[in-house]
Structure 1
Amino acid sequence: MLVGVYCCWGGSCRGVERAGCRNVDHKSKFRSKKGQLPFVELNGEEIADSAIIVKELSKKFDKNLDAGLTPVQRGISHAMVSMIENHFSWVVLWWRAKYPESMIKGYQVNLRNALNTRLPNPILNICFKFTAARKGMKKAKAHGIGLHTEEEILDFGRYDMRVLSEFLEDKPYFFGDEPTLLDVVAFANLAQLYFIDKEEEHPLRDFMNECYPNLVGLVNRVKERAFPDWDDICRMIDVNAQVAKPKEQGKETKEGTGPAEKQPLADDAEKGKGDEKEKDQEMEPEDKEEK
């Protein structure tokens, strides 16, 4: 089986190159048929939306994180996951849209790489503020969360974290000694706060650090268990894991790139458009990027 993973920020997904998975550079414009990111391609079948991705991959690989839960626990897990994905995650999205400059600095986003352009970062920062940030705020208002005052929205986030903290108590994971889907979903969202650069202010991150050390412990436990090489991954991972590194450019191959219509995203990410490969190979790197 081959899984191609199309993620946000130019396809950079930590750790997806493992177990036959490859992250694919979507050049910040190719999205799923539903218009969503992330999405995956499993043997040519496109799967979008994180919840559906987890569900389908669990079936394909016979890995059910909630197999040991009772029906009551599964119901609680479903309610908690829904709270995180349909409420808490929107608080995080609102902050990113409200403070785009802090978001860029806090996540150390290189917009030139993320947007596949040679424009200088100062110009990209301005463009991002008036395009992607406005789009994010529009989504937040359409959802409803963006219609409230800043303090009200932050209170929503604080209360969601309180609920999670009180349910976790002093357990290693929400339902005991082994992680379940709820732990994974909580990690994915809380990590977006916890790993914001310490130089940038974020009231919810500071609140979690000060008031809910058990949530901080959960984030670190999941990170250490799932990503023991986290620091190396953050420092060294290529945006497109299946494109050879510069010193190996002459050894590039096209094995396992997935469906034909997505192939240029994977194999020609460093060469420009797929239908002009030979011409691009003779061009200087700067000319390629302009194309």
Structure 2
Amino acid sequence: MPSTALLKRDWQKQHVYMVQYPRCRTLPNLSPWSLKLETWLRMADIPFTNISNEFKRFSSKGQVPFVELNGRQIADSNIIIETLKQDFGKADMDSSDPKQQSLNRAFSALAEDHFTWAMFAMRSKTGDNFVMSDDGWGRYHGTGLKRRFTQFMMKRMDKKFGMGRAMAQGMGRHSADELHEIAKEALKSICIFLGDKPYFGGDRPSTIDATMFGHLASLVYRPTPNGLLTKYVKETYPNLGQFIERVKEKTLPNLSPWSLKLETWLRMADIPFTNINNEFKNMSSKGQVPFVELNGRQIADSNIIIETLKQDFGKNDMDPSDPKQQSLDRAFSALAEDHLTWAMFAMRSKTGGFNFALSDDGWGRYHGTGLKRRFTQFMIKRMGKKLVTDRANAQGMGKHSPDELHEIAKEALKSICIFLGDKPYFGGDRPTTLDATMFGHLASLVYIPTPNGAPSQFQLLTKYVKETYPNLGQFIERVKEKYWPDWEETCSTMNMNTHHKKE
């Protein structure tokens, strides 16, 4: 259970006590975040001692791994690493070049917030029997009938819990085939980013190498429901397999940004479309909004929709054909969609930032009048806050404090700013799918009002886009002017089908 009480009472100064799940036979830890952190500690040559959490000790945020250092607890692998870099003078492990820092952050998000969630979702759908086998964690649960009963119960609970988190994060709504493609494309992008370098940062290992090793090794050394993905790492993308072995030898083991993104893309692609109000109750077969209907079939998930429409309408030339640029686009899309926006969701869930959604300027006008509206708003606010909080906690961002979320979002914005540079669009001189993605998520940050009484950090994020990183603010205005000439009309009339093409 979550706790701030120290597990190591007789601690030594400047010695790290890492609390993680027990060992297993095929790789040191089934948790990619634990494997990542222990690998980083070994790379950094920081003295540490492992402590088993015995499947019941968690950080104050409910996370594993966590560390104890000099009498204080630190949770979340990324925050732990940043803290230890400062405390042990290890900042020189990582690149000081802002562009390389932004690339590392984007590809870390691709691995941690995108690829690994696809693997979690795939395992939750197919039954991850390995976890409770003797090679996994089965040996820690007694013998004979007691073990078999415990294994049976743990499998049931773990599958339900895993599926619940995967559904909340979003990946769990995809089919096994779709998840396979998502994971495959992520691996391809990571492969291209590594190239022929020995490490992702160049000639020496850095934090991103620990991150990539933790997540890639968890795929390769843990039995997978789809053996093809492991085969890709070993054969199709051999540099990834070689990287894993290299590290092993060295260290051992709308208001919806997605709706806004999709409609912006449709406008960019000049594809004829009609908006339909889902009336807060019509969802796709995956439980998602937005979704589209085309030629008698339903297509869900903004990324899958775009890829399908590109094929059906011959719009592949919208995006770069260069594999390296494709990998960059995929990584920065993940940084915006699976990292920045979840940090914002988590911050709003903690500060009442979703009250705007039920105001008259948001969706409040659709819920009757007078007492009926006030009662409906009250109930939806309560249910909506719980839903968003639960999803943010399941995804992981909800476990952070507003200060931590502010830093996470700020660093993501900084990386996106550097990647855009002085180009008019992320793809160069003409907009691509990545520009629609970035516009959807950045515009949602800028134009959804900051809640009254919200922490100053929340308000600063909008200021960063407009002032600190002015190229992002200019980018938003550029896309608005070109593809949303009806922006004011749409917002004032709430008409879902205004005329967006300039005469």
Q: What SS does the aligned partner of 1:41 have? A: strand
Q: Distance in 2 between matches of 1:232 and 1:91?
A: 30
- Deviation by residue 1:252-288 (Cα, 9 ceiling, x = unmatched): xxxxxxxxxxxxxxxxxxxxxxxxxxxxxxxxxxxxx
Q: Report matched runs for 1:1-291 at 5 Å.
A: 19-64=271-316, 66-98=318-350, 99-100=352-353, 102-104=355-357, 108-113=361-366, 115=367, 120-197=372-449, 202-239=459-496, 241=497
CA offset at residue 66 of structure 1?
4.5
CA offset at residue 198 of structure 1?
7.5
Contact 2:439 2:476 in 1 (8 A): yes
Letter in 1 for 2:361: Q
Q: Distance in 1 between matches of 2:317 and 2:441?
A: 18
Letter in 1 for 2:407: D
Q: Distance in 2 between matches of 1:73 and 1:184?
A: 16
Which range moved further: 47-56 or 121-130? 121-130
Q: Distance in 2 between matches of 1:105 and 1:71?
A: 43
Contact 1:100 1:128 in 2 (8 A): no
| Root mean square deviation of aligned Cα | 3.0
What's 1:277 paired with?
none
Q: Distance in 1 between matches of 2:485 and 2:347?
A: 29
Q: Distance in 2 between matches of 1:116 and 1:37?
A: 23
**Structure (1 or 2) with the larger CA radius of gyration:** 2
Cα distance change on mapping 1:8 and 1:103 into 2, 3 Å: closer
Q: What SS does the aligned partner of 1:40 have? A: strand
Cα distance change on mapping 1:216 and 1:119 into 2, 3 Å: same
Q: Distance in 1 between matches of 2:310 and 2:411?
A: 31
Cα distance change on mapping 1:107 and 1:138 into 2, 3 Å: farther
Q: What SS does the aligned partner of 1:47 have? A: strand
Q: What SS does the aligned partner of 1:22 have? A: coil
- Deviation by residue 1:214-235 (Cα, 9 ceiling, x = unmatched): 0001111111111122212222
Q: What SS does the aligned partner of 2:281 have? A: coil
Cα distance change on mapping 1:106 and 1:78 into 2, 3 Å: farther
| Structure 2: unaligned runs, 5 residues or longer | 1-253, 499-503
CA offset at residue 125 of structure 1?
3.1
Q: Distance in 1 between matches of 2:489 and 2:386?
A: 34
Cα distance change on mapping 1:150 and 1:96 into 2, 3 Å: closer
CA offset at residue 174 of structure 1?
1.6
Q: Distance in 1 between matches of 2:444 and 2:431?
A: 19
CA offset at residue 117 of structure 1?
7.7
| Structure 1: unaligned runs, 5 residues or longer | 1-6, 243-291
CA offset at residue 140 of structure 1?
0.3
Q: Distance in 2 between matches of 1:177 and 1:152?
A: 35
Letter in 1 for 2:311: K
Q: Distance in 2 between matches of 1:211 and 1:37?
A: 33
Cα distance change on mapping 1:119 and 1:40 into 2, 3 Å: farther
CA offset at residue 67 of structure 1?
3.6
Q: Distance in 1 between matches of 2:386 and 2:470?
A: 34
CA offset at residue 93 of structure 1?
1.9
Cα distance change on mapping 1:101 and 1:180 into 2, 3 Å: closer
Letter in 1 for 2:409: G
CA offset at residue 208 of structure 1?
1.9
CA offset at residue 108 of structure 1?
2.1
Contact 1:107 1:196 in 2 (8 A): no
What's 2:55 paired with?
none
Stretches of 4+ moved more than 6 A in 1? 12-18
CA offset at residue 109 of structure 1?
0.8
Q: Distance in 2 between matches of 1:81 and 1:147?
A: 23
Q: Distance in 1 between matches of 2:360 and 2:418?
A: 28
Count of residue pairs the alignment pairs up: 232
Letter in 2 for 1:158: K
CA offset at residue 96 of structure 1?
3.5
CA offset at residue 175 of structure 1?
2.7
Contact 2:343 2:397 in 1 (8 A): yes
What's 1:283 paired with?
none
Which range moved further: 171-180 or 196-205? 196-205
Cα distance change on mapping 1:95 and 1:65 into 2, 3 Å: farther
CA offset at residue 194 of structure 1?
1.4
Cα distance change on mapping 1:175 and 1:27 into 2, 3 Å: closer
Contact 1:165 1:214 in 2 (8 A): yes
